Structure 1
């Protein structure tokens, strides 16, 4: 299959007056976003990265890489978690058609085309697109890189607990219970008796014994709300001075924080070193003196081995200290030094300030990506596919950070609400000036017409999205 390009999709639109075209509130936001992407050369970069996956001549032109990555960005900006939902939303929206450069008489990509393109492009290509957006963030001065906060969250996998099987015998959970009931002398054909036995016995669903055949990489995890699901874990590093996401990694849901941070922290250090490097006259790169120096995390990352490993990487740790009994440090002098040094730093004024900043700038990206961005429940399977969606979700968050500096709004709905708020504020100022200059005018406080306009222009509270159900 040949690769489709943005240049090949350019065409002459039908002639009509601009006033005849309907415009939605999202038009200005997506026009500004396209301006940012075009200025950075986004489409040319995507086509260059994706060219090895396509044939040069044979086959019908594919979905343009720039269009595919824009489709995944739409999932963040519109709060849509599935590729099917993205395809439906694009087909119905004029602003999204213009954002993707699709005419009114053209068929937009369906969810099958989106999913096939996602499976065709590897994780390294999605990582390259994320780094490209991060480079644009750094170019605009929104990346400092000195103080990094690391935290993780769980994402519910597209796999059900009722479908798990034993790793050794491939038995389903109900077949396993019937075998236990038969061994205990209980009638295995009586489902009610088998369930009563299951409620009374002590049990633990271990990932070493159980697996979902449809998504083997998903792991049984206890979620934050107390329920147990098959899940993945997304861990990201955030610049605590600007809020930009520097690096993000994906793991199984049951992976420990002290284990996953060994992958996330080096990735963040490499990303910071790459973005703040400046080319010299000889073509080489000289790393700036101000690089990654401080790491801030919560108490889940506190551990002797983990703190010692982070200290060896040359960073100062500010890890919240949990309540622990007195420990025996025999043979663990390096861990003892790392733990005590971290404890001294956390109790200082800067440590307390960084931990407060962590709650503000480290938790906010999770809310934007997975709650407002609606990716808490995954609709893809396999760690590689999950990593692709998570990387583009983080790239969309960084683009929203850029747009927030330009338009003071990071989403189309936020821009529409901002315009309405500014209009209401301007109307209040004009009304106050008119009332002060002409107190006896026809629109006094008791005028029905004034009361009518006041009610129409009163700013409404922001609409809250209903909380999505994540249980079975």
Structure 2
């Protein structure tokens, strides 16, 4: 006999969320292990003593974590999603008939709490992973990736010299004539300060940028991303974003230029747990940021009772200063040097004990002085022969050229540190570490950007971007720490 379901809404209902959410549900398991009650003490100073009650800080953080666990970056969509899920309502301690916080409350509370509160939650979750034996501490893999900022290239403004700032602000957008044909979308509100609106390029750099713009306009159709709206050559030295002044123009090979932030990520190689994450300006270099990363990560691991031994990273983090710094911290670096590194001129033999080079003709080229290279900002050592040493040399013309009177060259001040690092990189352990890095930190970045809400920063400013990255990392570590449970 055919059945037919007839729905009639009941006037009274007996319903308990705890009975409807399965025992192996992910959010039920998460509620049982995640204790965020310490946030009441951590955040008390950011509220007044009177007025309307705010959103519960524990509920706020749980809602944020749900967003990244569910790969939702919109606060409005997050509230809509949570209202339809029984397991999430149970996780955040809301009943069926309770109204969820307004989506703008999430945004305002995120701005209210400082970065330190988000880092405290990150450290709390990391401690949970350590207690489960998932973090060894001895080997950390470090890598970086650009994350799209919440700003458009179409709203870029031109920086101007300080003396012309008031007169020329927002009159011209770029140097090339191509921009005159492209509509400029004005930003509603300029959030930049005076320093961010002043040009930082020298006259020589401005000339180079101007010539690139002319070339860009002639062969634009040959460049990656040429079909994208508003694609053109721009530089951080001449342009800024009034919408989000902390966002920076950056580009990956084969991709169009975009306004991005840079995410620096550290992952423990034992179980792929994230041990550190932070937002940086996208135009910064990895090797300049490594000391800050190591200082912060070393302190966190030490406080957790873990001993860090090996630092694994790619070539972007290579520099003699970094090798020396890591050795001072008691860490072994496995960072391949740049292809431009040379221990000295070809065919010259270095004497470590007496610090001199011997040329192919057997002549001594002694050390003369140490100096800072103004072009690269790196410390170097100069080696220079006396004029009479090279006068009768049969290789004079090929070695010195036409005008030089004596042999002079410079090498990195940290040659010994380079050599020790290179020996480790090319050892069997170094080859193992390279494979470990590629199979550890790179897949974690892929998971964060594709499945953990880090495909785009939905906030404005470097501090807010740092909070977003911490929340995404917290969600990832929770997913890694908990046993596999049903999320739906």
Q: TM-score, normalised by structure 1?
A: 0.71
Q: Structure 1 residues 340, 103: CA separation in 2 closer, same or farther (over 3 Å shift)?
A: same
Offset of residue 322 of structure 1: 4.4
Match of 1:287 in 2: none
Change (3 A) 1:226 1:212: same
* Aligned residue in 2 for 1:50: 43
Q: Given the alignment, which residue of 310, 313, 332 partners 2:329?
A: 313
Distance 1:349 1:232 in 2: 35
Which residue number in structure 1 is paired with residue 388 of structure 2? none
Indicate the residue corresponding to 2:218 in structure 1. 200
1:81 to 1:191, Cα distance in 2 relative to 1, 3 A: closer
Higher share of residues assigned helix: 1
RMSD: 3.0
Residues 17 and 160 (structure 1), Cα distance of their counterparts in 2 relative to 1, 3 Å cut: closer
Cα distance in structure 2, aligned partners of 1:232 and 1:26: 40
Match of 2:475 in 1: 396
In the alignment, which residue of structure 1 is the partner of 2:302?
A: 273
Secondary structure of the residue aligned to 1:216 is: coil
Residues 264-285 of structure 1, C-alpha deviation per residue, up to 9 Å, x if partnerless?
Answer: 1111100100111xxxxxxxxx
Does 1:35 find its partner at 2:32? yes
- 1:295 Cα shift? 0.0
Question: Are 1:256 and 2:285 counterparts?
Answer: yes
> Could you tell me how far 1:303 is from its partner in structure 2?
2.1
Q: Select the residue among 88, 93, 99 that pairs with 2:91.
A: 99
Counting only pairs closer than 5 Å after superposition, residues 67-466 of structure 1 correspond to structure 2 as 67-168=59-160, 169=165, 175-176=172-173, 181=177, 199-200=217-218, 204-223=233-252, 225-276=254-305, 291-324=307-340, 326-328=342-344, 330=381, 334-403=413-482, 407-408=483-484, 412=486
Q: Does the CA-based 8 Å contact 1:294-1:316 persist in structure 2?
A: yes
Structure 2 Cα separation of the partners of residues 196 and 336 of structure 1? 42
Deviation at 1:161, TM superposition (A): 0.6
* Structure 1 pair 30–176 and aligned structure 2 pair: CA distance change class (3 A): closer
Shift of 1:361: 1.4
Task: Identify which range, 163-172 or 352-361, moves more after superposition.
Answer: 163-172
Task: Give the distance between the partners of 2:181 and 2:149, measured in 1 at CA.
Answer: 32
* Closer, same or farther: CA 47–255 of 1 in aligned 2, 3 Å: same
Partner Cα separation in structure 1 for residue 118 and residue 102 of structure 2? 20
Query: SS of the counterpart of 1:175?
Result: coil
- Can you give the 5+ residue segments of structure 2 that lack an aligned partner in the other structure? 1-11, 184-212, 221-231, 345-379, 383-410
DSSP 3-state at the match of 1:149: strand
User: Matched residues in 2 for 1:65 and 1:396: separation?
Assistant: 17
Q: Which residue of 2 aligns with 1:419?
A: none
CA distance in 1, matches of 2:90, 2:157: 47
Structure 2 CA distance for aligned equivalents of residues 189 and 159 of structure 1: 21
Q: Distance in 2 between matches of 1:225 and 1:118?
A: 35
For the residues of structure 1 that align with 2:61 and 2:291, how far apart are their CA atoms?
A: 29
In 2: Cα distance, 1:197 partner to 1:356 partner: 41
Aligned to 2:403: none
Q: Compared with structure 1, are the counterparts of its residues 125 and 225 closer, same or farther at alpha carbon in structure 2 (3 Å cutoff)?
A: farther
Name 1:449's counterpart in structure 2: none
Deviation by residue 1:400-424 (Cα, 9 ceiling, x = unmatched): 1210xxx246xx55xx7xxxxxxxx
Query: What's the secondary structure of 1:230's corresponding residue?
Result: strand
TM-score (normalizing by structure 2): 0.69
Check whether the contact 2:142–2:441 (CA below 8 A) recurs between aligned residues.
Answer: yes
May I ask how many residue pairs the two structures share in their alignment?
369
Using the alignment, how far apart are the partners of 2:214 and 2:280 within structure 1? 35
Report which stretch shifted further, 356-365 or 321-330.
321-330
Structure 1 unaligned regions, length at least 5: 1-13, 277-289, 417-472
CA distance in structure 2 between the partners assigned to 1:333 and 1:200 by the alignment: 41
State the alpha-carbon separation in 1 of the partners of residues 240 and 289 from structure 2: 21
Secondary structure of the corresponding residue to residue 255 of structure 1? coil
How far the C-alpha of 1:89 sits from its partner, in A, is 1.1
Cα distance in 2 for residues equivalent to 1:61 and 1:19 = 25
CA distance in 2, matches of 1:325, 1:150: 21
Counterparts of 1:311 and 1:250 in 2: how far apart (Å)?
26
Shift of 1:201: 8.8
Cα pair 2:320 2:412 within 8 Å, conserved: no
Deviation track 1:30-82 (CA, whole Å, cap 9, x = no partner) reads: 00000011xxx32x2111111111123x1122111111111111122111122
Matches of 1:402 and 1:32 in 2, distance apart?
11
